[in-house]
Structure 1
Amino acid sequence: MTGPATLWTPPESAFTDSAMARFAHAQGLDPRRYDELHAWSVTDRSAFWSALWDFTGVLGEQGDVVEQAPDPAALGGPDELPSLRHGHMFGTRFFPRGRLNVTENLLRGDGDRLAVVAADETGVRGRLTLAELRGRVAAVQAGLRDRGVRRGSVVAGIMPNDVDNLVTMLATLSLGAAWAGCSPDFGVPGLVDRIGQVHPAVVVAAESYVYNGRTFDVRGKAEEVLDRLGHPTELVLTRSAAWESDFTGRAGADGQPTFERHPFDTPGLIMFTSGTTGLPKAIVHSAGGVLLQHLKEHVLHGDVRPGDVHSWFTSTGWMMYAWLVSALAAEATVVLLDGSPTPKRDGTPDHGHLWRIAEQARITHFGTSPAYLSGLMAAGHHPAEHHDLSALRSVLSAGAPVSPEQYDWLYTHVKQDMVFASISGGTEIHGCFQLGSPVHPVRRGEITCLALGHAMAVLDERGAPVVGVKGELVCTEPFPSMPLTFLGEEGLRRYHDTYFAERPDLWTHGDLAELTPRRSVVIYGRSDTTLKPQGVRIGTAEIYRVVDARAEIADAVVFGHSCGTDEDVVLCVVPAAGSALTADLAASLRTDIRTQASPRHVPAHVFAVPAVPVTHNGKKAEGAARAAAAGLPVRNRASLANPECLAAYEALFAATPAEATP
Structure 2
Amino acid sequence: MMIKPNSVKESGLLWEPNDTWVLNSNLTEFAKQVGKSALPYEHFYRWSIAKPEEFWSAVWDFADIIGEKGEEVLIRPIDGGMQGTSWFPNGYLNFAENLLRGDEKRTAVIEADENGDYRCLTMEQLRSTVAKAQAGLRALGVRTGDRVAGIVTNRVEGLVALLATTSLGAVWTTCSPDFGPQGIVDRIGQVKPKVVVASLDYHYNGKKFDIKDNISTVCEMMDGISTLVTIGDSFGLYFNKSLHVMNWKELCQNDASSPQFVRVSFGAPLYILYSSGTTGMPKAIVHSVGGTLIQHLKEHQLHCDVKPGDVMFWYTNTAWMMYHWLVSGLASGAAILLYDGAAVLKDDPGILWGFAEGFRVTHFGTSPKYLELLMKNSYQVNQKHELSRLRSVLSAGAPVSPEQFDWVYDYIKNDMIFASCSGGTEIIGCFVMGSPIHPVKRGEITCKTLGMAVDVLDDRGASVLHQKGDLVCTQPFPSMPITFWGECGDERYQDTYFAARPGIWTHGDLAEQTIDETVIIYGRVDTTLKPGGVRIGTAEIYRVIDQIPRIQDSIVFGLPVDGDEEIVLCLVIKEGNLGSEMADTIRKEIRAKASPRHVPHRIYCVNEVPNTLNGKKVEGAVRSVVLGKPVKNKGSIINPNCLEEYVGLSEREYK
TM-score (norm 1): 0.95
> In structure 2, do the counterparts of structure 1 residues 289 and 3 end up closer, same or farther at CA, with 3 Å as the change threshold?
farther
Alignment of 1:265-344 (within 5 A): 265-344=267-346
Mean CA deviation greater in 221-230 or 522-531: 221-230
Could you tell me how far apart the structure 2 residues matched to 1:294 and 1:201 are? 28
Q: Hey, what does 1:658 align to over in structure 2?
A: 653
Mean CA deviation greater in 613-622 or 95-104: 613-622
C-alpha displacement of 1:617: 2.1
Alignment of 1:177-216 (within 5 A): 177-216=170-209
Q: 1:99 aligns with which of 92, 100, 122?
A: 92
Q: Hey, what does 2:457 align to over in structure 1?
A: 459
Contact 1:117 1:124 in 2 (8 A): no
Query: 1:60-102 deviations in whole A, cap 9, x for unaligned?
Result: 111111001126xxxxxxxxxxxxx4x3211101011101111
Aligned residues: 637
Could you tell me how far apart the structure 1 residues matched to 2:353 and 2:30 are? 33
Secondary structure in structure 2 of the residue aligned to 1:13: helix
Q: Hey, what does 1:217 align to over in structure 2?
A: 210
Specify every segment of 5 or more residues in structure 2 that has no aligned partner in the other structure, as ranges: 1-6, 235-245
Could you tell me how far apart the structure 1 residues matched to 2:614 and 2:439 are? 30
Alignment of 1:18-167 (within 5 A): 18-70=25-77, 85=79, 87-167=80-160
Name the aligned partner's letter for residue 152 of structure 1: G
Q: Hey, what does 2:239 align to over in structure 1?
A: none
Q: Hey, what does 1:503 align to over in structure 2?
A: 501
Contact 1:205 1:219 in 2 (8 A): no
Q: Hey, what does 2:589 align to over in structure 1?
A: 592
Q: Hey, what does 1:247 align to over in structure 2?
A: 251
Secondary structure in structure 2 of the residue aligned to 1:514: strand
Q: 2:370 aligns with which of 347, 352, 372?
A: 372
Q: Hey, what does 1:639 align to over in structure 2?
A: 636
Query: 1:261-311 deviations in whole A, cap 9, x for unaligned?
Result: 111111001000000100000000001100100000000000001000000
Secondary structure in structure 2 of the residue aligned to 1:168: helix
Query: 1:25-78 deviations in whole A, cap 9, x for unaligned?
Result: 21222222111111011111011000000001110111111001126xxxxxxx
Could you tell me how far apart the structure 1 residues matched to 2:343 and 2:349 are? 8
Name the aligned partner's letter for residue 346 of structure 2: K
Could you tell me how far apart the structure 1 residues matched to 2:10 and 2:149 are? 47
C-alpha displacement of 1:5: 1.3
> In structure 2, do the counterparts of structure 1 residues 330 and 579 end up closer, same or farther at CA, with 3 Å as the change threshold?
farther
Could you tell me how far apart the structure 1 residues matched to 2:48 and 2:392 are? 25
C-alpha displacement of 1:17: 1.2
> In structure 2, do the counterparts of structure 1 residues 558 and 258 end up closer, same or farther at CA, with 3 Å as the change threshold?
same
Name the aligned partner's letter for residue 268 of structure 1: L
C-alpha displacement of 1:14: 2.7
Q: Hey, what does 1:543 align to over in structure 2?
A: 541
> In structure 2, do the counterparts of structure 1 residues 11 and 269 end up closer, same or farther at CA, with 3 Å as the change threshold?
same
Contact 1:435 1:450 in 2 (8 A): yes
Contact 1:223 1:235 in 2 (8 A): no
Specify every segment of 5 or more residues in structure 1 that has no aligned partner in the other structure, as ranges: 72-84
Name the aligned partner's letter for residue 70 of structure 1: P
C-alpha displacement of 1:217: 1.6
Could you tell me how far apart the structure 2 residues matched to 1:267 and 1:303 are? 28
Q: 2:224 aligns with which of 205, 213, 231?
A: 231
Could you tell me how far apart the structure 1 residues matched to 2:69 and 2:125 are? 30
Instruction: Give me the identity figure in percent.
Output: 53
Q: 1:11 aligns with which of 1, 7, 18?
A: 18
Could you tell me how far apart the structure 1 residues matched to 2:614 and 2:40 are? 37
Q: 2:615 aligns with which of 608, 611, 618?
A: 618
Secondary structure in structure 2 of the residue aligned to 1:603: coil
Could you tell me how far apart the structure 2 residues matched to 1:94 and 1:617 are? 31
Alignment of 1:487-498 (within 5 A): 487-498=485-496
C-alpha displacement of 1:328: 0.5
Q: Is 1:176 aligned to 2:185, yes or no?
A: no
Contact 2:230 2:248 in 1 (8 A): no
Name the aligned partner's letter for residue 55 of structure 1: F
Contact 2:135 2:252 in 1 (8 A): no
Q: Hey, what does 2:237 align to over in structure 1?
A: none
Name the aligned partner's letter for residue 607 of structure 1: Y
C-alpha displacement of 1:247: 2.2
Could you tell me how far apart the structure 1 residues matched to 2:104 and 2:500 are? 49
Q: 1:414 aligns with which of 412, 415, 418?
A: 412
C-alpha displacement of 1:616: 2.0
Contact 1:423 1:436 in 2 (8 A): yes
Name the aligned partner's letter for residue 114 of structure 2: E
Mean CA deviation greater in 87-96 or 50-59: 87-96
Query: 1:327-365 deviations in whole A, cap 9, x for unaligned?
Result: 1101001000101111233xxxx2111110111111110
Could you tell me how far apart the structure 2 residues matched to 1:511 and 1:630 are? 24
Contact 2:194 2:224 in 1 (8 A): no
Contact 1:124 1:360 in 2 (8 A): no
Query: 1:249-272 deviations in whole A, cap 9, x for unaligned?
Result: 3242xx011112111111001000
Query: 1:543-562 deviations in whole A, cap 9, x for unaligned?
Result: 01000111111111111110
Could you tell me how far apart the structure 2 residues matched to 1:638 and 1:317 are? 13
> In structure 2, do the counterparts of structure 1 residues 236 and 268 end up closer, same or farther at CA, with 3 Å as the change threshold?
same
Name the aligned partner's letter for residue 73 of structure 2: V
Contact 2:587 2:599 in 1 (8 A): yes
Structural RMSD (CA): 1.3
Name the aligned partner's letter for residue 93 of structure 1: S
Q: 2:646 aligns with which of 646, 649, 657?
A: 649
Contact 1:115 1:130 in 2 (8 A): yes
Secondary structure in structure 2 of the residue aligned to 1:648: helix
Query: 1:399-444 deviations in whole A, cap 9, x for unaligned?
Result: 0000000000000000001100000000000000000000000001
Could you tell me how far apart the structure 1 residues matched to 2:528 and 2:94 are? 41
Query: 1:554-573 deviations in whole A, cap 9, x for unaligned?
Result: 11111111011100011111
Could you tell me how far apart the structure 1 residues matched to 2:210 and 2:596 are? 49
Contact 2:199 2:232 in 1 (8 A): yes
Contact 1:14 1:21 in 2 (8 A): no
Could you tell me how far apart the structure 1 residues matched to 2:527 and 2:283 are? 18
C-alpha displacement of 1:239: 3.6
> In structure 2, do the counterparts of structure 1 residues 251 and 300 end up closer, same or farther at CA, with 3 Å as the change threshold?
farther
Query: 1:589-622 deviations in whole A, cap 9, x for unaligned?
Result: 1111101111000001111111111112221111
Q: Hey, what does 1:80 align to over in structure 2?
A: none
